A and B are shown apart, each in its own frame.
Chain A
Amino acid sequence: MTVRPQPEELLETGHRVTLAAVADVLLPSWKGLPSASDIELSGKPVDRVLSYAPELAPRLAASLSAVGDREIPHALREMLENDRKGLDLLLLVCCAAYYMQPSVQERTGYRGQEAEVIDRAELPAYLEDGTLERTVAPPNVAREFATLEEAGL
């Protein structure tokens, strides 16, 4: 049996509050896309990310501590200059949580990598329309080959 970590074990409440505020600056609502708080990103969506990659949790907590209770855009800009890794981590966790949400996927049209059966009957167009027939040997490769053939190498 696998024991799932409890939300509090993944991220403590204080950090969760900061994360909610940070995530709304990173991912505001835009042209029909929900904002981070619209999907309650700092709850289940972020738990999903941290349950999959628990090694991110301590680094996330450190980045959120670095933000503290400062004005968020200001703190983010400072991280952009002095702590790019910390900022990247915030972006990774928030964006991973965001783009995995069905309501977001509905809007972006990206539902993950989908499978498709190869159509065996279909003949590639390039065999029929003459494109492939027109392709010629690349010039340098052909020249090198001719030189070697001439020298018997």
Chain B
Amino acid sequence: MSEANKAQGEETRDQIEGAREPLLELRDLATWFRTDEGIAKAVDGVSYKIHPGETLGLVGESGSGKSVSALSIMRLVPSPPGFVERGGIFFKGESLLSIPDEDFRSIRGNEIAMIFQEPMTALNPVYTVGDQVMEAVILHRGLDRAAAREHAIQMLTKVGIPSPETRVDTYPHEMSGGMRQRVMIAIAMSCDPALLIADEPTTALDVTIQAQILDLILELQQQAGMSVLLITHDLAVVAETAQHVAVMYAGKVVEYASVEDLFAQPRHPYSIGLFRSLPDLAKQGKRLTAIPGMVPSATRFPSGCRFRPRCSIATDLCASSEPPLVSLEAGGVHTVACHHLEEARGL
């Protein structure tokens, strides 16, 4: 009986979540590239939602389309060769794809900001740190230089840069990787964005500095009530920061769930394999259970389910038809794209 109550409780929670207006929604987004080998379907029918104040973790292997989906939101996909083939991106209910470029500038860096893995390439080496933090507030908030400089010093203080009054006049190359990432965060946060997209923000950093940067992002998020799209290949980082997770494979979301549900019981054969590969969870001395084979190239995805060549329970059905992303329970949050969910339980 208590089980039934619990299930009912969960359903209502899910329903509330479903009913809440998402801040950002991707609907069947497809972003492709024209390459010498043919069309690379980097992102090929991706849907996910981010609610106000929440962190969505986007995980998956290299080349699965995580960054391209984020760059599509920011309109930073190089074009040519890239183009949006179909689908929609909705921010606060408005279709981003139908906004003209000039108007989009008031959203990028203002309402939606982004930080990258390698801050050195994102920062301009010939401008001081202060100039770069000031740029966004001068552009979007119309502050004069003196006020913008004050604001920049405040932002540098906020992100934990020691002696911000002098650091504001230094150049990016004079800083360590961790400090540069803090500067990137200061720039991204300077206009109080509703959504922060962080693409592998800590991958290039030591674990100690990673912990500091993740703590900083969480702290700023709580202060400002902003939403975060956190892209990472590190499941442990997601476990520590996100409320929901989308697992991507070969240009698709194959599983979406709350972190608790995904980490308690991943349901897609790829997600299951990913967890088994973690040395973190493996017994010392026991062999790791690696997923055989490798990620297919974006120009040559297999027919049907794209995970099929590496999946141990694949059948003819998997080769002939692409499994849709469906809810485990009617109206529930946890969704999985696999034809053989029952068999996958036995993996």
Do they bind each other? Answer: no
